[in-house]
Amino acid sequence: MKKVNYRSIDPMESAPGVGKVSAGVRMRRIFGEEEGASFTMRVVEHDPTGLLPHGLHSHSWEHQFFIVSGRGVFLTEEGSTELGPGDCVFVAKAEPHTIGPAAGTEPFFFVDCVSKVGK
């Protein structure tokens, strides 16, 4: 068993499939392969700018998102979907997508789980 508080982990400067983490975004890698996990858990906080940090992109791995607080937007080739606390999103391998904050006063905060990155 391993317990950590996400606030004790320094935000990442870059991430697989994302590249350089944008200004106003704090992404923290919590657990992953180094701990023997079969997926990676990340905690992401976006300042409420209303700007999507990067355009539509896809990966060779799946994503699962759990929205903790704030308001966000999920964009695919089919259009956009508003997100709020308690919403969950599954993104299949190779599905073009992006996620970001809606403009407002509260940070957009979510947990992002990805299957083994790059495999």
CATH code of the domain containing 88: 2.60.120.10
The average pLDDT across 90-111 equals 93
Model confidence band, residue 119 (pLDDT cutoffs 50, 70, 90): very low
Per the domain annotation, does 40 fall within a domain?
yes
Structure tokens at 99: 């996620």
pLDDT at 44: 94
The string over 38-50, giving b where at least 16 C-beta atoms fall within 10 Å of a residue's C-beta and e elsewhere, is eebbbbbbbbbbe
Question: What total number of domains does the chain contain?
Answer: 1
Residue 65 belongs to a domain: yes
Residue 11 lies in a domain: no
| pLDDT attached to residue 88 | 98
Task: Give the range of the structural domain holding residue 82, as residue numbers without chain letter.
Answer: 26-115
Structure confidence at residue 10 (pLDDT): 95
pTM of the model: 0.89
Residue 8 lies in a domain: no
